[in-house]
Amino acid sequence: MQPDFLNLPKNCGMAKVKYFYNPETCTYERVRVKPLDIVLNLSVFLTLAVVLAIVFTMVYGRIYKSEQEITLREENQQLLEHYNLLNRELTDVQNILEEIQKRDNNVYRVIFEAPPIATSVRKAGSGGTNKYKDWLKKGLKKEKLIINTAEKIDELKRRMYVQSKSYDEIAQLVKNKTQMLACMPAIQPLSNKGLTRLTSGFGLRVHPIYKVGQFHPGIDFAAPQGTPIYATADGQVHKAEYESGYGNHVIIDHGYGYKTLYGHMVNHNVKAGQKVKRGECIGFVGSTGFSTAPHVHYEVIYKGEHVNPVYFFFKDLTAEEYEKILELANKENQSLS
């Protein structure tokens, strides 16, 4: 009997045809491949090929960069450096603007008697980072740096707007400065060339009748009856009348918060509502009302508060004369009213 292997088909050695040994029949039978197996094997092969291709591409991409990618990376690095430089420049601008704001509050607005602008007004917010949420949705890299830059620009724009409005206000005050200075008390209410007529200063003084200490809201100038009394600044006569305390007296409203009072006149030659100029005669020295001798009682009221009139004698006195009249005003003496 011949061996079974002698009964193999002639093409059994070919790779494309496979056989298996069937022990029941003691023969070699041809392997029948199902279509499903072919499909599965092909799918596995293709999947492995795709995975290997992706891995290869990633590894190759990490090791070997294309010229375009290299150019983009260089451009991104340059943009990042520019952003950092821009941030530093913006910080410098913020510091400069802050110095301008300090000068505005502490110099310009003080000179023109304008109230300072609060820091909360200068740095008013505009919604924080929520304003830039659309940027974050786009997944921008370095978003913190970009948003920080945008916030600084927004803050600078707001602060510059407030500062420009402040300068507009200051410019208007500059236009009115001449008028404001003309309306500010600046001379003595009567002629006092020898500086001998100031008899009682501002503050606690001895009452002329009761001989006790009492606050004296103005200063007294002794002079012969009939001596002319002058308006110390431009303004409008608020009152020109008689009352028991001040006697014949005149009150002038100068605007800008200033008022002046001239008391104990023998008579006045202005009436309420009349406009007067600095140096214009408004009445004459007398001893009417609560008075012990001919004199003029002079008061300066600023925004409802009595202030020392001697601080407003800067226009008709030299520096030496001003020092002397300050000394006279501070001496302890008895008021005449």
Kindly give, in sequence order, each residue whose CB lies less than 8 Å from that of residue 279, ignoring residues fewer than 6 positions away: 187, 230, 231
**pLDDT at residue 233 in the model:** 96
CA distances from 106 to 98, 113, 143, 224 (A): 12, 10, 38, 46
Q: Are 312 and 267 in contact (CB under 8 A)?
A: no
Q: Distance between terminal CA atoms of the chain?
A: 161
Q: Are 264 and 287 in contact (CB under 8 A)?
A: yes
The CA distance from 245 to 218, in Å, is 14
**pLDDT at residue 92 in the model:** 87
Q: Are 290 and 337 in contact (CB under 8 A)?
A: yes
Superfamily of structural domain 198-329: Glucose Permease (Domain IIA) (2.70.70.10)
Q: Is 7 helix (H, G, I), strand (E, B) or coil?
A: helix
**pLDDT at residue 222 in the model:** 94
CA distances from 170 to 5, 20, 113, 167, 290 (A): 116, 107, 10, 5, 45
Backbone angles phi, psi at 212, to 5 degrees: -125, 160
pLDDT tens digits for 53-97? 888 888 776 766 677 777 887 887 887 788 788 888 888 888 888
Q: Backbone dihedral region of 150: left (phi > 0), alpha (psi from -120 to 50 degrees) or beta?
A: alpha
Structure tokens at 137: 């949705």
Residue-wise DSSP of 184-217: S--S-SS--TTS--EEE-SEEEE-TTT-SEEEE-
Backbone angles phi, psi at 27, to 5 degrees: -135, 160
Query: Which stretches of the chain are assigned E, i.e. beta strand?
Result: 19-22, 27-30, 198-200, 203-206, 213-216, 219-222, 228-230, 235-243, 247-255, 258-268, 275-276, 281-285, 295-302, 305-307
pLDDT tens digits for 267-320? 999 999 999 999 999 999 999 998 889 999 999 999 999 999 998 988 878 888
- Residue 258 pairs in a beta bridge with 255, 302
Q: Is 265 helix (H, G, I), strand (E, B) or coil?
A: strand
The CA distance from 325 to 337, in Å, is 20
Q: DSSP letter at 28? A: E
- Residue 305 pairs in a beta bridge with 302
Give the total residue count for the chain: 337
Q: Extract the residue ranges of the chain whose pLDDT is less than 70.
A: 1-16, 61, 63-65, 124-142, 206-213, 332-337
**pLDDT at residue 73 in the model:** 79
Domain boundaries, the chain: 4-63, 74-175, 198-329
Dihedral of alpha carbons 303, 175, 317, 193, sign = negative
**pLDDT at residue 105 in the model:** 86
- Residue 198 pairs in a beta bridge with 221
Among candidate residues 297, 279, 307, 266, the one with its CA nearest the CA of residue 197: 297
